[in-house]
Structure 1
């Protein structure tokens, strides 16, 4: 939020300078994120002074030039050559002295005044026209000032230019009370009052407001007082639309608002002055001379001020006339109801709308305006009548209007101040420092909070309704602390802590270990939103749409449900990279997945929502880039499996010990699921189906793995690292070629081998697979390599042969294998 310091000073009189005000606002919670000097006229008229023309003679070599001498207030005549037709002796003029920078009206770049020689005559400055110094647009001649202006007066002083500073305040959503210049001044005054610093808080008087006649009245009906708890309005006629005066335009431009006309500028001015949004309707366009605050039927078309036709919801509060809607209440005006150059009569609206209604409507239509920004956070219902009267008085002053009706004020149920109990002892305990009770009372009083009663050390307090964020004791304590000053609460010399036992294994440590391993193996981590598209789960059997956790108030259709799998996030990342010619990818992600069980919801008593910590890995494109001595190799399923094995070994888990079963899923063309000890599946991995790839327009194969991190943590809970000496005796390697049925896989043969020989067998690996027409129907050939080792003595041929014989016998018995 932008605050003009000069505008702010109109409401609070203080001796603090700009930097002190900036620091104080930050200290009390209105953090000043930007602080810059602002100039109403570029250059601030530096180097320009008022001069008196002493003499004016024709130039000896130019008919249209004059040679003048000018008194700049120092008593010394300065020679200046001037080409203006209206220059004459005795005039008071604006003089740009040597080295002054001028920024002409409408030009981006300025120029510097230098000593020059014009047609042989030296000139030591310049007599200025309006457009040459940026104070106007006229170029008919030089500026001629009144005769009583003293020579030597700085032009900045004559034109009453003030240095202004623009404060960019990072306003937090709870501080609705400070969304205006007066709101900021009021909060600054709290600090000054609490610290006995001289100041004066000023709110311009509206006592002069009154009804001029009864010639034009607009009736008002509020059909929904819940959505519009307070609605006020007044009618004015005899208005002349024209540009606003300079002071008003400067106020608005200072905070980045372009002036439009006097009436619209007044409503914008009061919005940023008081925080109360106003709306000026062209009274001639209010059909039936009646305003009805109501909702419209679902799907009603409405064209807003930006020319866009919108379909209204039955929950959108509208400002209507006798024929139809004119304005989306508190959000955006209609195309045909606002003030135009031909407007002569207006109905001024000043209202308090329900923040929830406004917030939902603004989000529903994707609209964010200065008015909705304030309404949806909660404004001051007691500021509504003041803002209305203030607007009427300014319109009367600047647009010539008269008030032609009584003020309408529909306020059936008064919005009461917030009342709750607070105690001094709890204030001290929450703050962590024994602030004197007199200081606490002083701050409470400065905040505008009233202590209505006291009993047994507890105070019953009354908080004004403009402080929408102070509704309980902790809120008031926060206010007390920010005014007292966080820096005034000393850091204790001793820190007390409670030591707690952290369960093992440490999840954060495991996450870091897994991340380090994947990153070291060429994977890049991605981070994505837990919210995703509901459309991904339509017509999907692996994860059904009915199991999605729905968002009650979604930001958009693309972020309407919680994800059930990390696959779609990975595919979005792959799509993004492939579209940017980065098709060789290895990525991974940590994230939670969520699901909803309708059956549990119907049963009651059981939590229908569940959450799982998952890890995803995805590979596509080439495994590694080509170089002079290595050809590029495409990634395969086994590239992914190899990476998974490396990761799991870090956790003491051998993927070869898993029970692997085929996975039939519409997410994959082919996939397997791995379990350990017959428990919950640890992971699934496979080739992403063409159906899923087509959703993201990804042509290349994608290999995807999703690992249940919670299950991995449980699996590694009892894992210990053992250390042993290097073996003294050599290991022995033997190979076998087995003919087996196609239904037999390597994992089965590996389990048989280790169950048969637990002592000497160190490892089993598969180094060749053959399936061809030279083998019997339904058969395949596996070539296995076995490593045997005895850590206590050298293996003999007799022991080796006996061991291999036992393995062959069990392969034949349990797997139906034949030795080739």
Structure 2
């Protein structure tokens, strides 16, 4: 959700900067994901100020140019050469200073620089309206009538000061904050400042010339319905202030009537809908359901078949709108509309959710209704919208307000005990502070005793229905940072703690990966069926399919973390972030068939690593090298070292996932697979670069975790190194060499390593040469040449007999 900083200031005084407001909102639970500057026009008139022409004389070498000096509030007047015919001394003008970039109404942006024009110095530019993007006229410079001091930013004079878009990651339970008013309510509670609601004093009914018969047949799906008519209005483009408000939060203006309804929705959190009154048959508005299969064409031109439970707004002959979700094609406001019926209602969250889900329609209105709006807001929002429509479109209110609300929705009554507040928060908060916070949140306290009280929660707080919810409200406004960390962690013995703490190990692995340049990613568990289908042959069971998916692209649970990683990589690569290393802890899901003919759902934890691009950023010290298998293998080995896993077997990685790679096996069970991802899988996400990927079985890794440190005394006897060059068939791997060497010499062989691989015509077809080093050591005595030679000869014999090796001299 996006809110406007300047819009918030209409509800509450905010001397704090947008960034500071973002921190305050995050502390209350409305997590701010970013703050972005929004210019009213391109460039925001940065570097453009109000100036005063002090002197103006003709240029001696150009008939159409004038030499001026201009006071821009900087102390020393600026010399500026001006070609406008209407420039004169004493004028207040718009001046672009040196360094300013102008965005003209037509043509490319350009920067103002110091210049000499026909021999005369010019340190700025006196501007016409088209030169700063405020209009199309170039007849002369803009001459202002203002008492603002020289040097005042022109954006302030034209009311074009930049706004700031604050992006809030709104959680589903906080629908009460899905508006500027709702967000301001949280700021009011934290900052202890009053709110300013828009005045409705100017609202009045002009006449009753267009009174409609309104009826609600399904009061369970529509507990409250309000509306009025406005006649004599003109549909046109919205004024600049209204368009700027909507653009600041990412909405596109449509026309003045629709823009007002969208504005009030974002302003107060109450969706509204405007019907063309001339298209309402029989002057009747009926809120009801229709027979199953009834055809209805929505605003997008698509014909939809209605369910019998879909609540509809109808006239005497036909349906006009899917209540709380989407308008109809033949009843909406058009350029020819002169009269409207304006609707403001409270619809059942359950009803709207079912309908929106069934038809796959997600709108700003359904987003709010299906989570729960304020039943006490429709009347206020209706008057607010009517006044704004009169302001931007003219017209007269031509009916009394219809307000059908047979059974008012009561506030929630929640008993709360002080001892539970202290217990759940962890500290004692003064009772007067508790009640101040609750009052600031519009939660009243009744039946107060020494033990507690009954919280009267307004119905717009649909998430506050239990004692724990009320306590959470107290805590988030009191401030989590104001609750000290307890140092009194006591336990009778360490045996009370788990032998292996998964969270602790996850934190340690995360720190290790971050220290080695990896970024942690968190992705959705929902994915496309086509991804699972692409690797179906290697999956452990059937897909877990959602009964009511939001879309086809998010209709099954993932069975591998691979595609989550690939989608993250391609998203960043498309934004020119080319060298990437990521890791993710995540769950995968499957449905496994049991022997008895039944099935069960299986949930497994995995750890994935992925790298793409170059090993290091570009540098003059060395050329960039693309990532390779060993870069990923090194990261995998660091994780194994952290868990003190020293030995494992290897086998080829699953070719369904990997073009080449290895699977490390411990106790005959796969622990991690790593390698180059099959190109056909990367193509599924439109990723054209090679990706190296590793997939850990996290549960298996935790079972092997060891927290015990082993100590070995450093041997007093030295190591001895011997090297061999082995010519082998290409199919022989280093892992086979290593395994055979350790089987042959278990006592003295400490380390075996390959330091060179060579292939060439002189070796023969299908051959390659490994240069291998062997470190030998006896911890009880110094090795003699005889012992060393005997050991190496046993190794040579084993390589020749078992692997067909030829020893190169």
Larger radius of gyration: 1
Aligned residue number for residue 342 of structure 2 = 348
Q: For residue 537 of structure 1, give the secondary structure of its aligned residue in structure 2.
A: helix
The answer to whether structure 1 residue 334 and structure 2 residue 328 are counterparts is yes
Q: Distance in 2 between matches of 1:617 and 1:558?
A: 23
> 1:490 Cα deviation (Å)?
8.2
> 1:419 Cα deviation (Å)?
1.1
> 1:702 Cα deviation (Å)?
6.8
Residues 433-456 of structure 1, C-alpha deviations (whole Å, 9 max, x = no match): 655545544654565444443567
Q: For residue 611 of structure 1, give the secondary structure of its aligned residue in structure 2.
A: strand
Q: Distance in 1 between matches of 2:375 and 2:793?
A: 91
Residues 676-717 of structure 1, C-alpha deviations (whole Å, 9 max, x = no match): 233x21233566556546646778887655343443444352
Q: Distance in 1 between matches of 2:481 and 2:383?
A: 42
Instruction: Give the counterpart of 1:453 among 435, 447, 452.
Output: 447
Q: Distance in 1 between matches of 2:747 and 2:458?
A: 81
Aligned residue number for residue 204 of structure 1 = 200
Give the TM-score, by structure 2 length: 0.64
Residues 54-77 of structure 1, C-alpha deviations (whole Å, 9 max, x = no match): xxxxxxxxxxxxxxxxxxxxxxxx
Instruction: Give the counterpart of 2:224 among 224, 230, 235.
Output: 230
The answer to whether structure 1 residue 476 and structure 2 residue 466 are counterparts is no
Aligned residue number for residue 465 of structure 1 = 459
Q: Distance in 2 between matches of 1:198 and 1:575?
A: 47
> 1:351 Cα deviation (Å)?
0.9
> 1:540 Cα deviation (Å)?
3.6
Alignment coverage as a number of residue pairs: 708
> 1:803 Cα deviation (Å)?
8.3
Residues 556-606 of structure 1, C-alpha deviations (whole Å, 9 max, x = no match): 5444444333443555577789999999x89563433412234369989x9
Do the aligned partners of 1:454 and 1:460 also contact (CA within 8 Å) in 2? yes
Aligned residue number for residue 529 of structure 2 = 534
Aligned residue number for residue 607 of structure 2 = 614
> 1:618 Cα deviation (Å)?
6.3
Aligned residue number for residue 758 of structure 1 = 746
> 1:281 Cα deviation (Å)?
0.8
Unpaired runs of 5+ in structure 1? Answer: 49-82, 85-94, 110-128, 146-150
Residues 426-483 of structure 1, C-alpha deviations (whole Å, 9 max, x = no match): 4455566655545544654565444443567232232221333432334434555677
Q: Distance in 2 between matches of 1:801 and 1:319?
A: 95
Describe how 1:161-310 pairs up with structure 2 within 5 A.
176-177=175-176, 204=200, 212=208, 217-223=212-218, 225-235=219-229, 238-241=231-234, 267=261, 271=265, 274-287=268-281, 289-290=283-284, 291-294=286-289, 302-304=297-299, 309=302
Alpha carbons of structure 1 residues 313 and 757: separation in structure 2 relative to 1, 3 Å: farther
Q: Distance in 2 between matches of 1:698 and 1:394?
A: 49
The answer to whether structure 1 residue 720 and structure 2 residue 727 are counterparts is no
The answer to whether structure 1 residue 2 and structure 2 residue 4 are counterparts is yes
Instruction: Give the counterpart of 1:507 among 499, 502, 505.
Output: 505
Q: Distance in 1 between matches of 2:667 and 2:174?
A: 56
Alpha carbons of structure 1 residues 553 and 807: separation in structure 2 relative to 1, 3 Å: same
Alpha carbons of structure 1 residues 308 and 491: separation in structure 2 relative to 1, 3 Å: same
Q: Distance in 1 between matches of 2:350 and 2:469?
A: 21
Alpha carbons of structure 1 residues 324 and 611: separation in structure 2 relative to 1, 3 Å: farther
Do the aligned partners of 2:188 and 2:194 also contact (CA within 8 Å) in 1? no
Aligned residue number for residue 90 of structure 1 = none
The answer to whether structure 1 residue 547 and structure 2 residue 536 are counterparts is no
Q: Distance in 1 between matches of 2:342 and 2:473?
A: 35
Aligned residue number for residue 657 of structure 2 = 667
Alpha carbons of structure 1 residues 751 and 383: separation in structure 2 relative to 1, 3 Å: closer
Q: Distance in 1 between matches of 2:375 and 2:705?
A: 60
Describe how 1:594-613 pairs up with structure 2 within 5 A.
594-599=588-593, 608-613=601-606
Q: For residue 379 of structure 1, give the secondary structure of its aligned residue in structure 2.
A: coil
Q: Distance in 2 between matches of 1:228 and 1:563?
A: 38
> 1:381 Cα deviation (Å)?
1.0
> 1:371 Cα deviation (Å)?
3.9
Alpha carbons of structure 1 residues 101 and 793: separation in structure 2 relative to 1, 3 Å: closer
Q: For residue 274 of structure 2, give the secondary structure of its aligned residue in structure 1.
A: strand
Q: Distance in 2 between matches of 1:293 and 1:719?
A: 72
Residues 757-812 of structure 1, C-alpha deviations (whole Å, 9 max, x = no match): 4323445678999999x99xx99999988665445134353784488469959997
Q: Distance in 1 between matches of 2:724 and 2:238?
A: 99
Residues 197-243 of structure 1, C-alpha deviations (whole Å, 9 max, x = no match): 99997863599659836x753454545x554333334456x534367
Do the aligned partners of 2:464 and 2:470 also contact (CA within 8 Å) in 1? yes
Q: Distance in 2 between matches of 1:628 and 1:434?
A: 60
Do the aligned partners of 1:538 and 1:545 also contact (CA within 8 Å) in 2? no
Aligned residue number for residue 319 of structure 1 = 313
Describe how 1:686-765 pairs up with structure 2 within 5 A.
688-689=677-678, 691-692=680-681, 695=684, 705-717=694-706, 720=710, 722-725=712-715, 727-728=717-718, 730=720, 751=739, 754-762=742-750
Aligned residue number for residue 379 of structure 1 = 373
Q: Distance in 2 between matches of 1:467 and 1:217?
A: 33
Q: Distance in 1 between matches of 2:461 and 2:375?
A: 11
Give the TM-score, by structure 1 length: 0.63
Q: Distance in 2 between matches of 1:629 and 1:444?
A: 62
Q: Distance in 1 between matches of 2:196 and 2:542?
A: 61
Q: Distance in 2 between matches of 1:700 and 1:152?
A: 61
Alpha carbons of structure 1 residues 404 and 512: separation in structure 2 relative to 1, 3 Å: closer
Q: For residue 568 of structure 1, give the secondary structure of its aligned residue in structure 2.
A: helix
Q: For residue 610 of structure 1, give the secondary structure of its aligned residue in structure 2.
A: strand
Aligned residue number for residue 559 of structure 2 = 564
Do the aligned partners of 1:234 and 1:408 also contact (CA within 8 Å) in 2? no
The answer to whether structure 1 residue 795 and structure 2 residue 784 are counterparts is yes
Residues 122-169 of structure 1, C-alpha deviations (whole Å, 9 max, x = no match): xxxxxxx9xx9x99x9x9xx99x9xxxxx9999x9xxx9999997867
Q: Distance in 2 between matches of 1:738 and 1:36?
A: 65
Q: For residue 476 of structure 1, give the secondary structure of its aligned residue in structure 2.
A: helix
Q: Distance in 2 between matches of 1:633 and 1:46?
A: 54
Q: For residue 284 of structure 1, give the secondary structure of its aligned residue in structure 2.
A: helix
> 1:537 Cα deviation (Å)?
1.5
Unpaired runs of 5+ in structure 2? Answer: 53-83, 97-103, 110-128
Instruction: Give the counterpart of 2:416 among 410, 422, 427.
Output: 422
Q: Distance in 2 between matches of 1:768 and 1:165?
A: 63
Q: For residue 377 of structure 2, give the secondary structure of its aligned residue in structure 1.
A: helix
Q: Distance in 2 between matches of 1:440 and 1:299?
A: 53
Q: Distance in 2 between matches of 1:251 and 1:392?
A: 15
Alpha carbons of structure 1 residues 720 and 356: separation in structure 2 relative to 1, 3 Å: farther
